[in-house]
Structure 1
Amino acid sequence: MSMTDELTLDVQALRAEFPVLGRKVHGGKALVYFDNAATTQTPKAVLDTWVDYFERYNANIHRGLHRLADEATQAYEHSRDTVREFVNAEDVREIIFTRGTTEAINLVAQSWGRSQLVEGDEILISRLEHHSNIVPWQMLAQEKGLTIRIIPVDERGELDMAAYRALFTPRTRLVCVAHVSNALGTVNPVSEMARIAHEHDARILVDGAQAVAHTRVDVQALDADFYAFSGHKLYGPTGVGVLYGRFSLLEAMPPWQGGGEMIKTVSLEEGTRFAEPPHRFEAGTPAIAEVIALERAIRWVTNLHFELLEDWEQRLLKHATERMKGIDGMRIIGEAPHKAAVISFVVDGAHSQDIGLLVDQFGVAIRTGHHCAQPLMHHYGLDATCRASFAAYNTLEEVDYFVDALQRVVTMVRD
Structure 2
Amino acid sequence: MTNASTTPTVFDVQRIRADFPLLTRSVHGKPLVYLDNANTSQKPESVIEAVNAHYREHNANVARAVHQLGEEATAAYEGARDKLARFINAPSRNELILTSGTTQSVNLVAYSYALPRLQPGDSILTTVMEHHANIVPWQLVAARSGATVKAAPIDERGELIVEKYIEMLTPDVKLACVTHVSNVLGTVNPVREIARECKKRGIALLVDGSQAVPHRPVDVQALGCDFYAITGHKMLGPTGTGALWARREHLEAMPPFFGGGEMIREVRFSGTTFAAPPHKFEAGTPNIAGFVGLAAAIDYYESVGFAAIHAWEQNLLAYVTERLREIPGLRIFGEAAEKEPVISFLLEGAQASDMATLLDLQGVAVRSGHHCAHPLMQFYGVPATLRASLAFYNTREEIDAFIVALLKVRKLLM
Question: Quick check: TM above 0.5?
Answer: yes
SS of the residue corresponding to residue 90 of structure 2 reads coil
SS of the residue corresponding to residue 165 of structure 2 reads helix
Please name the residue that 1:21 is paired with: 23
Please name the residue that 2:302 is paired with: 302
Please name the residue that 1:117 is paired with: 118
Cα distance change, pair 230–62 in 1 and its aligned pair in 2 (3 A): same
Partner Cα separation in structure 2 for residue 207 and residue 6 of structure 1: 30
Q: Which amino acid aligns with 1:221?
A: A
Q: Which amino acid aligns with 1:135?
A: V
Partner Cα separation in structure 1 for residue 373 and residue 302 of structure 2: 29
Q: How does 1:281-300 map to 2 (within 5 A)?
A: 281-300=281-300
Q: Can you give the 5+ residue segments of structure 2 that lack an aligned partner in the other structure?
A: 1-6
Please name the residue that 2:3 is paired with: none
1:292: how far off? 1.1
| RMSD of aligned alpha carbons | 1.2
Partner Cα separation in structure 2 for residue 56 and residue 161 of structure 1: 51
1:7: how far off? 8.7
Q: Can you give the 5+ residue segments of structure 1 that lack an aligned partner in the other structure?
A: none
Aligned residues: 408
Q: How does 1:10-409 map to 2 (within 5 A)?
A: 10-27=12-29, 29-268=30-269, 270-409=270-409
Q: Which amino acid aligns with 1:249?
A: H
1:172: how far off? 1.4
Q: Which amino acid aligns with 2:236?
A: Y
Partner Cα separation in structure 1 for residue 179 and residue 282 of structure 2: 24
Partner Cα separation in structure 2 for residue 375 and residue 38 of structure 1: 18
SS of the residue corresponding to residue 262 of structure 2 reads coil
Q: Which amino acid aligns with 2:278?
A: P
1:8: how far off? 2.5
1:304: how far off? 1.1
SS of the residue corresponding to residue 38 of structure 1 reads coil
Q: Confirm or deny: 8 A CA contact 1:9 1:304 kept in the other structure.
A: no
Q: Confirm or deny: 8 A CA contact 2:8 2:311 kept in the other structure.
A: no
Q: Which amino acid aligns with 2:320?
A: A
Q: Confirm or deny: 8 A CA contact 1:370 1:377 kept in the other structure.
A: yes
Q: Which amino acid aligns with 1:315?
A: N
Which TM-score applies when normalising by structure 1?
0.97
User: Which shows bigger deviation, 108-117 or 176-185?
Assistant: 108-117
* CA displacement, residues 163-221 of structure 1 (integer Å, 9 cap, x when unaligned): 11211211211111100000110000011111111111100000000000100000000
User: Which shows bigger deviation, 164-173 or 213-222?
Assistant: 164-173
* CA displacement, residues 304-325 of structure 1 (integer Å, 9 cap, x when unaligned): 1101101100100000000110
Q: Which amino acid aligns with 1:15?
A: R
Q: Which amino acid aligns with 1:105?
A: V
Partner Cα separation in structure 1 for residue 243 and residue 117 of structure 2: 22
Q: Which amino acid aligns with 1:373?
A: A
